[in-house]
Amino acid sequence: MKLGVIADDFTGASDIALTLAEGGMDCVQYVGTPKTVAASDVGAGIISLKSRTIAPSEAVEQSLTACDWLLAQGCAQIVFKVCSTFDSTPEGNIGPVAAALGTRLGENQIIVCPAFPESGRSIYQGQLFVGDRPLAESSMKDHPLTPMRDSDLRRVLGAQTDWPVAHIPAATVFQGAEAIRAALPAGPAMIIVDAIRDADLRAIAQSATARKLLVGGSGIAIGLPQKFEIAPAAPRWRPTHGPGVVLSGSCSSATRGQVAAYVSAAPSREITPEAVMEENVDAEVLANWVIAQDSPPLIYSSADPAAVLAAQSRFGRDALALAIEGFFTNLTAALVRRDIARLVVAGGETSGAVVAGLNTTSFSVGPRIAAGVPMLRPDGRDIGVVLKSGNFGGPDFFAEALIRLTKQ
């Protein structure tokens, strides 16, 4: 294994797995840290954790365990994959995990760049933009678990770590890899690096060939396969036919638009917080309903920020999140028992719950459906799976993904 990735959620793991697979690397996405040795033909191992919103100490422990396993497989470089909108809280978990990984790897200068231009995430003068809006003015300001209300990544990261936080501006990045290397601070630091184009990300990757640790979104992986002299190649895929379903727990504005578009054309059931908390919805009954439909239905708990906040106030944020995730885990397990063949999932936390219900240890990585969203196949299972970050994909993503799973 040449390259190791530690991702703080499941959609982020599949996002960067797609980038590396399209770069020609043989990728496997693991569910948690494996207990056994990796196959000899794996070029990049991507470990999916569910560590974005857990206690920082737990996130650090899980990430270090993943790091040790990747090092034991021979990885020369580790990427800590975070969301392209830098989803986190003042306590972490990006800063604490990055610091712990840096210490474990003996790396005292850590490049941090969550930019993903293809999906409209760019960094300029240390500020993160979502499309043409600063992060703090985007829909991320109302995220139910990690509201992002500061666009300056230097301040965001600085609140999470005792390490000095430096910055390399776009004017330097435009000059290429040598200029980036020359601009690195003399002492220990985490360094926010501007990037607004794919060319910038390739320059950053080239500047970091000797670095043992990188922190960023999937964009930072664009130039990494070149380090290993690997040529770009299209990932392979075996079509999947049979019953399908869309499961959505994301409350992002993009996903709510996708839900609205799909509800108008397909059977659907909304799962309310009240129904879950009062145990008025049965996963087995709902799974029977899904399989009985003539076209793939939608099961969703997505709601607007005001409704989410009201439900959190009534039931408690953590208790509500745990209950809804548990419901999606149980529903997925029930659907698998009924031979579901196509699963399209929206939302990082929901994806983690669905993966738990699939009860698999790894995924093979197929071609893209949209930027940052590949098709996945649980190893040893004839099921096509799509794990979509909330903000990714166009208005008709759900229908397009279900169809794409059936194509070569």
The pLDDT, as a whole number, for residue 397 is 97
Half-sphere exposure of 326 (CA within 13 A, CB side): 12
Residue 238 in domain: no
Question: Are residues 196 and 249 both part of a single domain?
Answer: no
Residue 200 in domain: yes
Question: Are residues 183 and 250 both part of a single domain?
Answer: no
CATH number at residue 302: 3.40.980.20
Provide the domain count of the chain.
2
Q: Of the residues 227, 262, 290, which one is the last residue of a structural domain?
A: 227
**Domain range for residue 279?**
244-404
pLDDT digits (tens, 9 = 90+) for 275-298: 999 999 999 999 999 999 999 999
The pLDDT, as a whole number, for residue 231 is 81
The pLDDT, as a whole number, for residue 391 is 86
Q: Of the residues 195, 227, 259, which one is the last residue of a structural domain?
A: 227
Residue 22 in domain: yes
The pLDDT, as a whole number, for residue 74 is 97
Question: Are residues 337 and 390 both part of a single domain?
Answer: yes
CA angle 64, 66, 67 (to 5 degrees): 60
Q: Which residue pairs from 336-341 have beta carbons closer than 8 angstroms and sit at least 24 positions apart in sequence?
A: 336/383, 337/287, 338/243, 338/287, 338/288, 338/290, 338/291, 339/242, 339/243, 340/242, 340/243, 340/244, 340/245, 340/290, 340/291, 340/383, 341/240, 341/241, 341/242, 341/243, 341/244, 341/382, 341/383, 341/384
- Phi, psi (rounded to 5 degrees) for 7: -105, 140
The pLDDT, as a whole number, for residue 21 is 94
Residue 232 in domain: no
Question: Are residues 215 and 267 both part of a single domain?
Answer: no
Residue 239 in domain: no
Alpha helices (runs of H) in 73-139, residue ranges in sequence order: 94-105
121-124 and 127-130 as β-strands: parallel, antiparallel, unpaired? antiparallel
The pLDDT, as a whole number, for residue 229 is 81
Question: Are residues 70 and 206 both part of a single domain?
Answer: yes
Question: Are residues 290 and 322 both part of a single domain?
Answer: yes
The CA distance from 403 to 265, in Å, is 14
- For the chain, residues with pLDDT lower than 70 are none
Question: Are residues 137 and 90 both part of a single domain?
Answer: yes
Question: Are residues 211 and 69 both part of a single domain?
Answer: yes
The pLDDT, as a whole number, for residue 406 is 97
Sign of the torsion formed by the C-alpha atoms of 165, 171, 173 and 178: negative
Residue 237 in domain: no
The pLDDT, as a whole number, for residue 378 is 96
Question: Are residues 219 and 315 both part of a single domain?
Answer: no
DSSP string, 27-84: EEEEESS-SSPPPTT-SEEEEE---SSS-HHHHHHHHHHHHHHHHHTT-SEEEEE--T
Question: Are residues 207 and 268 both part of a single domain?
Answer: no
Q: Of the residues 175, 202, 227, which one is the last residue of a structural domain?
A: 227
pLDDT digits (tens, 9 = 90+) for 376-391: 999 888 999 999 988 8
The pLDDT, as a whole number, for residue 293 is 97
CATH number at residue 191: 3.40.50.10840
The CA distance from 201 to 117, in Å, is 9
The pLDDT, as a whole number, for residue 230 is 84
Question: Are residues 206 and 267 both part of a single domain?
Answer: no
Question: Are residues 99 and 62 both part of a single domain?
Answer: yes
Q: Residue 93: is the preceding peptide bond cis (ω within 30°)?
A: yes
Residue 236 in domain: no
The pLDDT, as a whole number, for residue 388 is 94
Residue 88 in domain: yes
Nearest residue to 68 via CA among 93, 90, 101, 113 = 101
